[in-house]
C-alpha cells in the first residue's frame, strides 16, 4: 500500500533522549536557567514550545507583539553576575540603549521630554509645568535611585518565595536587616504628571495590583534610572540566551523551527516527572528533573492525567491571569511622524477603562522569505502602542477586540493628527498574528495569586508537589518584573544542582 503524501512529518529532534534536566517554555527565566546549567556541565534540553519568535508577520513586515522597556543591567546586580558567568554581560550591555529622550510624558495640555541631560530636563520641566515641574523632577530623581537601597538584599540570594519553615525563618531575618525594603514610594502625589509616571508600573511588572513598598518601587525605579531598549525586544534577549545554551553543548528545540517542536504531554513515574512527548513524535525525552518556564495554564494543559497529579494542578491553579497588554502597530513613513515625538512616550489617554498608553517607536523590518533574511526598511517606522485590558476580553470575540483596537487608533490619531493618511499598515497582534498558540498572545500578562505574597512580590513557589518539577516562570516573582523573571531562572539553576547532587550515586 502506498504511503499517503499527506502523512505528517515527524520532528527530527536531537539523537540524545536522556538528560539531566529538561527546561520547558520560552520565558526568560527558563532560558537563563538552561544556559547556567549547561555552563555548569549538565546535560540540558531546552524546549521553547510556546516561543513567540522575533515578532509576527503581517503585510510583509515583522512587527512587535508589545512595547518592551528594559532597565540598565547595573540595576540588576544578581542578573549581571549570572550573565558574567555566561560571558554575555558585555553583549547585553552593548545591546541595551537608552531611548531619546529617556521618556516623554504626553498630557492633555503638556508635553514633557525627560532628557538624560539634567540641565535640559530641568529647563524642560520648568517651561512646561512651572513649580509642579520642579516637584516632579525631585520625585523622579528619588524614585530612580530607590532600587539602590535594596540591591544588597538581592545580592544575598534570598529564598524568594521561601519553601518551608526554615527558609521562611531565614528570609524574615534577612528582611529585618534591610529596612530599605519597606521604604515609602517617592512618586506619591496627586498631580497629573506624577499619576502618569506611576502608570508605567504595569508595563514593567507582572502583578495585577501591586501594593507593597517593594513592588511599587523597585521595578519602576530600575527602569526610570534609564529606560532602555533591547534590540529585538524580549524575544531578542531570549534568543541570545538560547544560542548560548547551544554553544555550551545543550540541545535547543525551537518552537518556530520548520518541524514545529511542540510538547504534547508530560509523562510521570508515580508523582515524579519522567519525560515529555512531542506532538507528532513517538520519542519520549527523559530527564531527572523539569524546569517549567511557561505560564501555569500552559503547563497545566500538558498534564494529561489530572486524577493522579491533583497536587501539582492545585499548585498551578493558584495563579490567575487578570489583565493583558493589548497592542496596535502602525507602520508609517518616518517623515509622517510628528516632529518632537519621542522614541518612548507615556500617554495620558483620559480614558478610565484603558488607562495610560505606552508608545514605543521601532525600526521597520521586512518579513523574511525563501532565501532572504529580514532587513531594515529605510525611512519607515513602527509605532507600537499598548494598553492593559481585562484578560476576559479574549473571550468576548474578535469584534470586541477590534473595538479596543479602534479606540487605540483614536488616541494615536489625536496624538499624530496627520499621520494616519500616510499609514502603510495597521496591525494588532490579537487580531492579525496568524498561527499563534496560547501564551504566545500574552507577551505581558498581569497576575493575581492565592498564595502568601512575601514582600508583596512573590507568586507561585518554585518547588511544586511533583518533587522534581521546578518553576522558573514570570509567575514566581511577578512583582519584580524582568528582574524577577531572570532571578527565578538563577535560583532554579541552583535548585537543580542541589537536586542532582543529592541523586548522584557516585558522590557520597
Beta strands 425-427 and 284-292 are: unpaired
User: Which residue reads 513524535 in cell numbers?
Assistant: 281
Q: What is the pLDDT of residue 156?
A: 92
| Helix or strand (DSSP H, E) at 426 | strand 425-427
Q: What share of the chain has pLDDT > 70, as a percent?
A: 93
Q: What is the pLDDT of residue 464?
A: 96
- Which 8-state DSSP code applies to residue 369? B
What distance separates the 2 farthest-apart alpha carbons in the chain? 85
Sign (positive/negative) of CA torsion 292, 464, 158, 149?
A: positive
135 close to 197: Cβ distance less than 8 angstroms: no
CA dihedral 456, 208, 319, 72 (to 10 degrees): -70
User: Which residue reads 538528560 in cell numbers?
Assistant: 19
79 close to 71: Cβ distance less than 8 angstroms: no
3-class DSSP state of 445: strand
3-class DSSP state of 232: coil
Q: What is the pLDDT of residue 405?
A: 97
* Tens digit of each residue's pLDDT (9 = 90 or more) over 332-391: 999 999 999 999 999 999 999 999 999 999 999 998 888 788 899 999 999 999 999 999
Measure the CA–CA gap between 189 and 200, rounded to whole angstroms.
Answer: 15
401 close to 431: Cβ distance less than 8 angstroms: yes
Q: Is 15 exposed, middle or buried (0-12, 13-18, 19+ CB in 10 A)?
A: exposed
* Tens digit of each residue's pLDDT (9 = 90 or more) over 44-92: 999 988 766 778 899 999 999 999 999 999 999 999 999 999 999 999 9
Residue 362 contacts by C-beta under 8 Å, 6 or more apart in sequence? 64, 381, 382, 383, 384
Where are the extended beta strands (E) located within 357-463? 357-366, 376-390, 425-427, 445-449
202 close to 446: Cβ distance less than 8 angstroms: yes
Sign (positive/negative) of CA torsion 269, 274, 276, 282?
A: negative
| Helix or strand (DSSP H, E) at 272 | strand 272-278
**Ranges of the chain whose pLDDT falls below 70:** 1-13, 15, 51-52, 255-260, 435-441, 502-508
Other C-beta atoms lying within 10 Å of the C-beta of residue 164: 10
Beta strands 319-333 and 376-390 are: antiparallel
C-alpha cell at 157: 540570594
467 close to 272: Cβ distance less than 8 angstroms: yes
C-alpha cell at 238: 531570549
Q: What is the pLDDT of residue 13?
A: 63
pTM as predicted = 0.93
Amino acid at each position: 500500500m502506498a504511503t499517503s503524501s499527506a502523512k505528517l512529518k515527524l520532528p527530527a529532534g536531537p539523537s540524545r533522549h536522556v538528560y539531566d534536566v529538561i527546561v520547558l517554555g520560552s520565558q526568560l527565566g527558563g532560558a537563563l536557567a538552561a544556559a547556567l546549567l549547561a555552563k555548569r556541565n549538565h546535560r540540558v534540553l531546552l524546549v521553547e514550545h510556546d516561543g513567540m519568535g522575533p515578532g509576527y508577520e503581517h503585510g510583509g513586515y515583522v512587527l512587535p507583539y508589545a512595547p518592551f522597556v528594559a532597565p540598565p543591567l547595573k540595576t540588576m546586580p544578581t542578573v549581571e553576575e549570572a550573565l558574567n558567568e555566561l560571558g554575555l554581560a558585555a553583549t547585553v550591555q552593548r545591546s541595551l540603549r537608552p531611548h531619546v529622550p529617556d521618556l516623554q510624558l504626553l498630557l492633555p495640555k503638556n508635553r514633557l521630554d525627560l532628557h538624560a541631560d539634567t540641565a535640559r530636563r530641568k529647563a524642560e520641566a520648568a517651561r512646561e509645568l512651572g513649580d509642579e515641574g520642579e516637584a516632579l523632577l525631585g520625585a523622579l530623581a528619588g524614585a530612580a535611585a530607590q532600587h539602590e537601597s535594596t540591591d544588597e538584599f538581592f545580592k544575598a540570594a534570598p529564598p524568594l518565595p521561601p519553601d518551608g519553615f526554615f527558609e521562611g525563618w531565614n528570609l524574615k531575618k534577612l528582611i529585618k536587616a534591610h529596612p530599605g525594603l519597606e521604604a515609602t514610594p517617592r512618586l506619591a502625589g496627586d498631580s497629573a504628571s506624577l499619576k502618569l509616571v506611576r502608570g508605567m508600573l504595569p508595563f514593567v511588572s507582572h502583578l495585577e495590583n501591586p501594593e507593597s513598598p517593594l513592588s511599587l518601587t523597585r521595578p519602576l525605579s530600575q527602569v526610570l534610572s534609564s529606560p532602555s531598549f533591547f534590540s529585538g525586544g524580549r524575544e531578542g534577549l531570549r534568543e541570545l540566551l538560547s544560542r548560548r545554551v547551544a554553544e555550551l553543548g545543550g540541545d535547543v528545540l525551537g518552537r518556530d523551527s520548520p518541524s514545529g517542536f511542540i510538547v504534547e504531554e508530560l509523562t510521570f513515574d508515580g508523582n515524579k516527572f519522567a519525560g515529555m512527548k512531542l506532538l507528532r513524535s513517538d520519542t519520549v525525552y527523559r530527564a531527572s528533573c523539569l524546569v517549567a518556564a511557561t505560564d501555569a495554564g500552559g503547563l497545566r494543559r500538558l498534564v494529561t492525567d489530572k486524577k493522579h497529579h491533583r497536587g501539582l494542578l492545585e499548585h498551578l491553579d493558584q495563579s490567575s491571569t487578570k489583565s493583558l497588554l493589548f497592542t496596535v502597530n502602525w507602520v508609517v513613513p518616518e517623515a509622517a511622524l510628528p516632529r518632537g515625538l519621542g522614541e518612548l512616550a507615556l500617554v495620558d489617554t483620559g480614558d478610565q477603562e484603558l488607562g495610560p498608553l505606552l508608545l514605543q517607536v521601532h525600526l521597520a523590518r521586512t518579513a523574511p522569505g525563501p532565501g532572504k533574511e529580514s532587513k531594515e526598511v529605510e525611512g519607515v517606522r513602527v509605532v507600537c502602542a499598548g494598553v492593559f485590558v481585562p484578560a476576559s476580553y479574549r473571550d468576548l470575540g474578535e469584534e470586541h477586540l477590534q473595538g479596543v483596537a479602534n479606540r487605540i487608533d483614536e488616541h494615536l490619531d489625536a496624538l499624530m493628527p496627520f499621520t494616519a493618511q500616510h499609514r502603510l499598515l495597521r496591525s494588532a497582534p490579537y487580531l492579525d498574528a496568524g498561527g499563534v498558540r496560547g501564551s504566545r498572545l500574552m507577551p505581558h500578562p498581569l497576575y493575581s495569586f492565592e498564595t502568601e505574597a512575601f514582600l508583596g512580590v512573590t507568586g507561585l513557589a518554585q518547588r511544586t508537589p511533583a518533587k522534581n518539577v521546578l518553576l522558573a516562570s514570570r509567575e514566581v516573582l511577578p512583582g519584580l518584573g524582568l528582574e524577577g523573571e531572570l532571578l527565578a531562572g538563577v535560583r532554579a539553576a541552583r535548585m537543580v544542582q542541589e537536586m542532582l547532587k543529592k541523586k548522584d550515586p557516585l558522590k557520597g
